[in-house]
Amino acid sequence: MIPIPLEEPTKKELQDKLMKMPELENEKNLEQLKSDIICREKSRKDLEKQLMKMPELEQEEETDMKTNLKDLTKELPYKWRVQSAKYGKATCVAYIDARDCQDLLDEVVGAENWQTIYYEQNGLLFCKVGIFTGTDWVWKSDTGSESNVEKDKGHVSDAFKRACVSWGIGRFLYRLPIQTLQAKKHTNGKEYAYSPEKDKIIFDGETLTKYINWKLNNNQK
């Protein structure tokens, strides 16, 4: 098959084509501009919808945070310590460590959503515990009392734990009954909790906690 040769465009045809090229380019630019405007308008409307939903989302986050804050009141594993020992009786109360409060705050609200501030007022050390509720920081404070051991450290720890109670952490401890044990005088002249079942003086907190829990579980008086 013999190929048919293509006719070369005439000079006039070439000139006409060249004359039309700016119009075609302008039409192309116009179409692109229309497309850009439509995309921008769509993006603007999408953004407006998102902005309209933001109060709802913030309200949902705040509601979720308030729901989570209820978990701060849950019961934690606790220990026992001697509050006083005299006249043959040892009064024991339940307690939790400052680390237990910190761990619960991390678990419930997140480590980045709570903080503490310490300050003195009228000679007393106060601790403020702040929690970010999703929109604002909310603060609750209380003061502590000195400890018989490591007074400064105990004062700081007690202030922190009492401020945590304001948030509900460890509040269940106040509902637990005080336990009264026998006390016996040591050769150093001090009285300590005493176990008549084993005829032993109880010196450390771990043994005291095990002993009281054993008595409670076995209805021992």
Average pLDDT over residues 162-184: 96
Between helix 98-109 and helix 151-166 the angle, nearest 10°, is 40
Residue 18: C-alpha distances to residues 7, 8, 21 (Å)? 18, 16, 5
74: DSSP letter: S
**Cα–Cα nearest to 195, from 72, 187, 203:** 203
In the prediction, which pLDDT does 161 show? 96
Average pLDDT over residues 194-202: 95
**In contact, 201 and 184? CB cutoff 8 Å:** yes
**In contact, 147 and 153? CB cutoff 8 Å:** yes
Q: 89 by DSSP, 3-state: which?
A: strand
In the prediction, which pLDDT does 144 show? 84
pLDDT digits (tens, 9 = 90+) for 43-59: 666 766 666 655 554 55
Residue 79 has pLDDT above 80, yes or no: yes
Residue 22 has pLDDT above 60, yes or no: no
Q: What angle do CA 193, 93, 90 make, to 5 degrees?
A: 25
On the 0-12 / 13-18 / 19+ scale of CB atoms within 10 A, 205 is middle
Judge if pTM exceeds 0.75. Answer: no
Average pLDDT over residues 151-176: 91
167/193 Cα distance (integer angstroms): 33
pLDDT digits (tens, 9 = 90+) for 111-146: 999 999 999 999 899 999 999 988 899 999 999 876
Average pLDDT over residues 88-114: 96
Mean per-residue pLDDT of the chain = 83
**In contact, 129 and 116? CB cutoff 8 Å:** yes
Single-letter residue type at 192? Y
Q: What angle do CA 89, 93, 98 make, to 5 degrees?
A: 145
Look-up of token digits 């503490």: 116
Fold that domain 98-169 belongs to in CATH: Double Stranded RNA Binding Domain (3.30.160)
